[in-house]
A and B are shown apart, each in its own frame.
Chain A
């Protein structure tokens, strides 16, 4: 098993080429996620958050600047990344177990068939999907599909887990269940996590560090270290510390959206 990586972005600038000319999405973005850290990125819609996930996964290269994993520049896709999206993209023709096993069919590994199965089954039971391994994705609820998608992202023990709004399409209570499951996964598995989200409570509940992106083209506008105990319950979200953090983050989002000046925290941000 490899150690979780440190993710570093150094002065990353990127623009998409469109018919109407270049569309800059990232502008001199620098950020660092520690070994085994959990970083949530929040920001206005269309500010380049998904571009960040594709850069970290090595699916594309920035126009300028470097993406560095544990000291090695990322230039192409590497097997040490696991991804999950808002759409769970499970393969409908495979059972849940076979879906989770998919990365092990691609990534070189020394596990034999029984070991692969054991690995997948232990993850499935960790997320509460024991007994559903032979079902098809169409037989599962949205929350269960997303849990299976998380298992697939982790089955090959990636150093980096990239989550692009994985809980965005779920109802509020299912979402909270999955937050708890993320904490349980983090307690059992070692990975450095980059989470893209629109939900500030989710960011504070899950992450060690929340980064607010500015509007497009994005840079890291504000960094919030989350001083909550590592073992968290939903109750912690109602503590004064959490309330203050959420308030400040909400204010920073308004600033990023260009709706509020930088110094107006606590004076009722316009939503």
Chain B
């Protein structure tokens, strides 16, 4: 029964959504350059299925690589800021500034900096756009640790590292995973930004761009659906990891 609810209900919702979409296009008589309907999109998928697999894989692995970099750097920065007030006060304005710069403007700069290194450029943008929430939430998680937690262990003579490993690290995990869910979608935006703004013949962004150039509107919509699908897959992988490593933070249903 719970499996029915966890899988059946979302699938049902998707089916209803697609039906509503189809109906909306049909009732308004929209041509496919204004709004493609699900029945236009499927043939586009099928026609380019080989390209979707190839480009989807390129987008996926580069997004995951950027995300992995964001996790490592974001967690590191968050830890430093969480433990040292001085570093936090010093770094925050810089990080906020970094985050405030629209990444679309950074794309050409990165592309010029590392001409021709498309994979690295794309990973770099995915990383730049997604490390901020991770750094902030890890630093907040660590700096809001109640002093009593530390005192319990410190009064026993525990080292700073022991306190970090036994208390601070596990206690920050729920915040970390919350940020990772945001970072997953951001990283996708970063990857596609690079693929669309500086097309280099790789990834779903390139497929989108060629759809635009050839006025193949159903293809453009199909790319959007493919991106949404990849985003959902990655998001639920994070949810699965969260349940495994920080499931204790989830309250039982009452």
By a beta-carbon cutoff of 8 Å, the part of chain A in contact with chain B is 54, 57-59, 76-79, 81-83, 85, 87, 89, 91-93, 102-103, 105-107, 136, 138-139, 152, 156, 162
Do residues B248 and A136 form an inter-chain contact, with CB atoms below 8 A?
yes
**Nearest Cβ on chain A to B244's Cβ, whole angstroms:** 12
Do residues B249 and A57 form an inter-chain contact, with CB atoms below 8 A?
no
> Does B155 lie at the interface of the complex (its beta carbon under 8 Å from any beta carbon of A)?
yes
Do residues A107 and B152 form an inter-chain contact, with CB atoms below 8 A?
no
Given contacts A102-B166, A105-B166, A138-B251, A78 and B157 within 8 Å (CB-CB): yes
Given contacts A57-B155, A106-B153, A93 and B162 within 8 Å (CB-CB): no
By a beta-carbon cutoff of 8 Å, the part of chain B in contact with chain A is 146, 148-149, 151-158, 162, 166-167, 170-171, 173, 246, 248-249, 251-252
Bound: A81/B248 CA distance, A:
29
Do residues B167 and A91 form an inter-chain contact, with CB atoms below 8 A?
yes
Do residues B156 and A106 form an inter-chain contact, with CB atoms below 8 A?
yes
User: Residue among B152, B157, B166, B167 with the most chain A CB within 10 A?
Assistant: B152
Do residues B162 and A106 form an inter-chain contact, with CB atoms below 8 A?
yes
**Nearest Cβ on chain A to B248's Cβ, whole angstroms:** 4
Find chain B residues with CB under 8 A from A83 CB: 151-152, 155
Given contacts A87-B148, A89-B146, A105-B166, A77 and B154 within 8 Å (CB-CB): yes
Find chain B residues with CB under 8 A from A91 CB: 149, 166-167, 170-171
Find chain A residues with CB under 8 A from B157 CB: 76-79, 106-107
Bound: A81/B156 CA distance, A:
7
Find chain B residues with CB under 8 A from A77 CB: 154-157
Q: Which residue of B lies closest to A162 (CB)?
A: B155
Do residues A92 and B249 form an inter-chain contact, with CB atoms below 8 A?
yes
Q: A92-B249, A102-B166 are in contact. List 19 more A-B contacts (CB 8 A).
A: A77-B156, A78-B157, A79-B156, A83-B151, A83-B152, A85-B148, A85-B151, A87-B146, A87-B148, A91-B166, A91-B171, A93-B170, A93-B171, A102-B152, A106-B157, A106-B162, A136-B248, A156-B156, A162-B155
Bound: A81/B152 CA distance, A:
10
Find chain B residues with CB under 8 A from A85 CB: 148, 151
**Nearest Cβ on chain B to A240's Cβ, whole angstroms:** 39
**Nearest Cβ on chain A to B160's Cβ, whole angstroms:** 12
Bound: A54/B211 CA distance, A:
68
Bound: A162/B251 CA distance, A:
32
List 22 interface pairs A-B (beta carbons < 8 Å), by A numbering. A54-B151, A58-B155, A59-B154, A77-B157, A78-B157, A79-B156, A81-B155, A81-B156, A87-B148, A89-B148, A89-B152, A92-B249, A93-B173, A93-B248, A106-B153, A106-B157, A106-B158, A107-B156, A107-B157, A138-B251, A152-B152, A162-B155
**Nearest Cβ on chain A to B150's Cβ, whole angstroms:** 9
Bound: A54/B150 CA distance, A:
12
**Nearest Cβ on chain A to B229's Cβ, whole angstroms:** 33
User: Residue among A77, A83, A93 with the most chain B CB within 10 A?
Assistant: A93
User: Residue among A81, A106, A139 with the most chain B CB within 10 A?
Assistant: A106
**Nearest Cβ on chain A to B203's Cβ, whole angstroms:** 39
**Nearest Cβ on chain B to A126's Cβ, whole angstroms:** 20
Do residues B149 and A89 form an inter-chain contact, with CB atoms below 8 A?
yes
Bound: A105/B163 CA distance, A:
12
Find chain B residues with CB under 8 A from A76 CB: 157
User: Residue among B153, B157, B173, B246 with the most chain A CB within 10 A?
Assistant: B157
Bound: A162/B154 CA distance, A:
14
Find chain B residues with CB under 8 A from A59 CB: 151, 154-155
User: Residue among B148, B149, B252 with the most chain A CB within 10 A?
Assistant: B148
Find chain A residues with CB under 8 A from B252 CB: 139
Find chain B residues with CB under 8 A from A57 CB: 151, 155
Bound: A97/B170 CA distance, A:
17
**Nearest Cβ on chain A to B152's Cβ, whole angstroms:** 6
- The 3 A-B residue pairs whose C-beta atoms are closest, nearest first, are A93-B248, A57-B155, A89-B148
Q: Which residue of A lies closest to B155 (CB)?
A: A57
Bound: A3/B166 CA distance, A:
29
Find chain A residues with CB under 8 A from B251 CB: 138
Bound: A81/B148 CA distance, A:
14
Bound: A156/B153 CA distance, A:
12
Bound: A59/B148 CA distance, A:
11
Find chain B residues with CB under 8 A from A152 CB: 152
Bound: A102/B149 CA distance, A:
12
Bound: A85/B154 CA distance, A:
14
**Nearest Cβ on chain A to B252's Cβ, whole angstroms:** 8
Q: Which residue of A lies closest to B249 (CB)?
A: A92
**Nearest Cβ on chain A to B167's Cβ, whole angstroms:** 7
Q: Which residue of B lies closest to A164 (CB)?
A: B148
